[in-house]
Structure 1
Amino acid sequence: MATLTKKALAESLKILMKKATLDKINVTDVVSHCGVNRQTFYYHFKDIYDLVEWIYKTEAVESINKYKSYNTWQQGFFMIFEYVGNNLEFCTNCFNSLGREHLDRFLYDITFGFLMGVVDEVAEDTDVKYREKRFIANFYTYAFIGIMTQWIREGANEDPANIINDINQLIEGDIKRKIHNYL
């Protein structure tokens, strides 16, 4: 029952965000749209931003976590583009609101997670330190977030497959070379 209520609150917020940015919506708006009381909302979430984080975590992060390998990172990136594209109004309104940090955190957490998996895989059986592996993963994470946010800013019109192909052309073999540079 709790999951159904959370999903209903999430769906209400996403519907409301088709017309307004996150900073223009409050808990009263969400519960009125959903047909529950404020106490029910606060039983599940501490505030609107907590609900936003729950949406990102449950709708996207769990399904993308399986792409943490050198051979599957492109699929993981594609799934992030696909999620954002399928939820463009929600993500764009988060992007254009005071809640942007939640979109940024979502993009960082998910991208860093699977890039760190790629770096760990490539660095397996080497003496490269965690700090250095983390730096490599951070570098590529922020590059990807920059590309993703520019895509959102420009209306998400370009085909994500083309963007991922461009990224792949640009960085193919780079992680292996960076690991080797630290040895």
Structure 2
Amino acid sequence: MDRRSGKTKKLLEDALIKLMIEKGFDKISIKDLTEEADINRGTFYLHYKDKYDLLEQKEDEFLKEFAKLAESISEKYPRDFKLLSKKENLLQVFNFVYTYIKQNSDFMKVLLGANGDLNFQMKLKNFIESMLIKNVEVEFVGEIKLKYMGAVAASAQLGIIQKWLRTGMEESPEELAVFVSDVVYTIYNGVLKANVDIK
């Protein structure tokens, strides 16, 4: 992507977020987007088929960047990185997640709000679930437990993020990460791992 094309896409993405906050996605027209971004309709259609394509590309870009940053964390600890075995691992991951959410808070508030995109919410939940399953020691939990634990944890995590955004992110990413990692570590070691150790 050349610099001019990248700048145009950024203008349209920013326009989309601003207009979604102001009037909701359903009420946005191509005319609204081009006027807000100060470009002509022809330029819009060079990049996107319609407003749905613009939204989907923005969502996919967010998730790809999210995945790339998450992968960079686990690559730092290739031998040692088992998500639930150390509280420091959990703390680092949650701190990363909440910091990234805060950096993209305008976009996330719109997509995860009451009138947000349910398709994106499902994509984000699936991403969180796959990241968890990938980094948990199956032998300590068991495949069946892991399957459902991943679903429960992903739903809970999405709920936490939505609550945090809805209440104005009063806690810092670091504060929220400390609280959530304490809860998750306690549940893992006090319930899941304990049940395995008893067998």
TM class by shorter chain equals 0.7 to 0.9
Q: CA deviation at 1:158?
A: 1.4
CA distance in 2, matches of 1:97, 1:24: 16
TM-score with structure 1 length normalisation? 0.73
Give 2:78's aligned residue: none
> Bigger shift: 41-50 or 134-143?
41-50
Give 1:32's aligned residue: 35
Gaps of 5+ in 2: 75-80
Mapped pair 1:149 → 2:162: yes
Q: CA deviation at 1:18?
A: 5.0
**Equivalent residues, number:** 179
Superimposed CA distance per residue, residues 107-127 of structure 1 (whole angstroms, 9 cap, x where no aligned partner): 3133223212222xx12x679
> Bigger shift: 27-36 or 164-173?
27-36
Give 1:58's aligned residue: 61
Give 1:9's aligned residue: 12
Superimposed CA distance per residue, residues 143-181 of structure 1 (whole angstroms, 9 cap, x where no aligned partner): 111111111121111122122111121121644663674
CA distance in 2, matches of 1:39, 1:180: 62
CA distance in 1, matches of 2:35, 2:55: 17
Superimposed CA distance per residue, residues 30-72 of structure 1 (whole angstroms, 9 cap, x where no aligned partner): 2333344546545644543443343233234233331454164
Give 1:95's aligned residue: 112
One-letter amino acid of the counterpart of residue 76, structure 1: V
Name the one with the larger helix percent: 2
Give 2:77's aligned residue: none
CA distance in 1, matches of 2:110, 2:95: 21
C-alpha change, 1:132 and 1:25, in structure 2 (3 Å) is same
Give 1:132's aligned residue: 145
Mapped pair 1:178 → 2:195: no
C-alpha change, 1:73 and 1:22, in structure 2 (3 Å) is farther
Supply the RMSD in Å over aligned alpha carbons: 3.3
Aligned with residue 112 of structure 1, among 125, 129, 136: 129
Partner secondary structure for residue 135 of structure 2: helix
C-alpha change, 1:171 and 1:76, in structure 2 (3 Å) is closer
CA distance in 2, matches of 1:41, 1:134: 42
Mapped pair 1:86 → 2:106: no
CA distance in 2, matches of 1:77, 1:45: 34
